[in-house]
Chains A and B, each alone.
Chain A
Amino acid sequence: DAGVTQTPRHEVAEKGQTIILKCEPVSGHNDLFWYRQTKIQGLELLSYFRSKSLMEDGGAFKDRFKAEMLNSSFSTLKIQPTEPKDSAVYLCASSRGLISNERLFFGHGTKLSVL
């Protein structure tokens, strides 16, 4: 189905490396979100785009995390340099963004392990 697609599903990196996670939202959706999921913190918002414009970034995540949306059908999340504490599942989600309480469609996530 044409849901949210995230690649890769798994990523293993060494400390200090640069990694890029990719996301393709549902076609026609205007809003795109990046979340980080850990057992301790749960889901934390990293970035939010509306119509390709960055509306909100994650505050505490600014220094090494950078999300970009070069076109309406593709977004990347770069982590540079990676640290072991970045090990988590990174989720991408999209929604139509037409009304205020719309459901989010989530990808399967990318599980990142930083050694």
Chain B
Amino acid sequence: GDSVTQTEGQVTVSESKSLIINCTYSATSIAYPNLFWYVRYPGEGLQLLLKVITAGQKGSSRGFEATYNKETTSFHLQKASVQESDSAVYYCALSDLMLSGSFNKLTFGAGTRLAVCP
């Protein structure tokens, strides 16, 4: 089946430093699935951070970037300078064909908790 593997556990970064959270994927139904990063801020529900549906393209939001790399099947999340408000849990996900023929089945990674220290 589909799978998403991302940096495990917690990542601790000092404020204003750079961040990378690794994500690699494997999709069984199609060669180029849609790729997403979702985020859960403390006290809030899971929400979309960014998505990329075309291989080779880069998505960005709130200073975060991720590039869809089909050669390495990766979709790493990066930010040049993190802030305390970025402390959250980040989930990499892919969407693949469902039996219905739509693309809405999301497979998530286990999540990476980001702690930004002042």
Which A residues form the contact surface with B (CB < 8 A)? 3-4, 31, 33, 35, 39-43, 45, 48, 50, 55-56, 91, 93, 95, 97, 100-109
Contacts and interface: CB of A to CB of B under 8 A. Distances in A.
Interface of B: 34, 36, 38, 44-48, 51, 53, 91, 93, 95, 98-100, 102-111
B106 A104 contact: yes
Contact of B34 (A4, A42, A100): A100
25 contacts: A33-B104, A40-B110, A41-B110, A42-B109, A42-B110, A42-B111, A43-B93, A45-B106, A45-B107, A48-B100, A48-B104, A50-B100, A56-B99, A56-B100, A97-B104, A100-B95, A100-B102, A100-B103, A101-B51, A103-B48, A104-B46, A104-B48, A106-B38, A106-B46, A107-B45
Given A42-B110, A100-B34, A101-B51, A56 B45 contact: no
B20 to A, nearest CB: 20
Given A56-B98, A56-B99, A101-B34, A109 B45 contact: yes
Contacts of A91: 46
B15 to A, nearest CB: 27
Contacts of A45: 105-107
A15 B15 CA distance: 45
Given A42-B108, A43-B108, A103-B48, 8 more contacts: A45-B107, A48-B98, A56-B100, A97-B104, A101-B53, A101-B95, A104-B48, A106-B38
